[in-house]
Chains A and B, each alone.
Chain A
Amino acid sequence: DAMVIQNPRYQVTQFGKPVTLSCSQTLNHNVMYWYQQKSSQAPKLLFHYYDKDFNNEADTPDNFQSRRPNTSFCFLDIRSPGLGDAAMYLCATSTIRTGYSSTDTQYFGPGTRLTVL
């Protein structure tokens, strides 16, 4: 089945130690997103790729970076994790159609729960 896969599901890192989260998709969607979701809060968009074009949200800290080497894969790099970066990180995909048709839905992965010690 076509899907969005995130690895690992659980990640533990130490304060200040770089960590990379990965996302892959078999949907062949041209847009990929990274969200951060803290406990009892709504998902917060960090950035997204429209094909190779990177779009950063204005309030995303510089500590968060992303790479998209090809259509299928997207990575979230946290350069120096702090205790406040402990959260669920969600990857999602969608496809953008032209014209005034309905909005395309986003397909989310299961998330990676990051713990910072």
Chain B
Amino acid sequence: LAKTTQPISMDSYEGQEVNITCSHNNIATNDYITWYQQFPSQGPRFIIQGYKTKVTNEVASLFIPADRKSSTLSLPRVSLSDTAVYYCLVGDNRDDKIIFGKGTRLHILP
């Protein structure tokens, strides 16, 4: 399972776009990149997953460069309710488990 590195914390303001970058230098060919969001006193929740280039859903976008050694989660126009911990994970379906890294604690200010 590839190791990931993320900033420990980030602050931003309501209405701004927030980009959280994750480094995964030893990502394997079959690995996908997945992001989870966790609010206090709740279980993590799937946000987005991608393999290469760009993926977008109703919540976020995920940008993955050609070498796939990093990825960036983009949250458009954040609100106070986006304050949470965001975890980046890499793995493939041959792994029947995932290992959480330290995550990024995002704090949105009014």
A107-B36 Cα distance, complex, nearest whole Å: 10
Taking beta carbons and an 8 Å cutoff, which residues of A are in contact with B? Answer: 4, 31, 33, 35, 42-45, 48, 50, 55, 88, 90-92, 94, 96-111, 113
Count how many pairs of residues, one from A and one from B, have CB atoms less than 8 Å apart in the complex: 70
Which one of B51, B87, B101 contacts A102 once the chains associate, using CB atoms below 8 Å? B51
Tell me whether B54 is interfacial, beta carbon within 8 Å: no
Known contacts A42-B87, A43-B100, A45-B99; decide if A102 and B93 are in contact (CB<8 Å): yes
Q: Do residues B97 and A104 form an inter-chain contact, with CB atoms below 8 A?
A: no
Interface residues on B, range: 20 to 34
- Taking Cβ atoms with an 8 Å cutoff, the residues of B that contact A are 30, 32, 34, 36, 41-46, 49, 51, 87, 91-93, 95-103
Tell me the minimal C-beta distance from A5 to chain B in angstroms.
11
Q: Contact check: which of A33, A106, A111 meets B41 at CB < 8 Å? A: A111
Complex-state Cα separation, A90 to B98, whole angstroms: 14
In the assembly, what is the distance between CA of A106 and CA of B46, in Å? Answer: 7
Closest 4 A/B residue pairs (Cβ): A108-B43, A42-B100, A105-B46, A103-B32
B49 to A, closest residue via Cβ: A102
Contact residues in B for A55 (Cβ distance below 8 Å) = 96-97
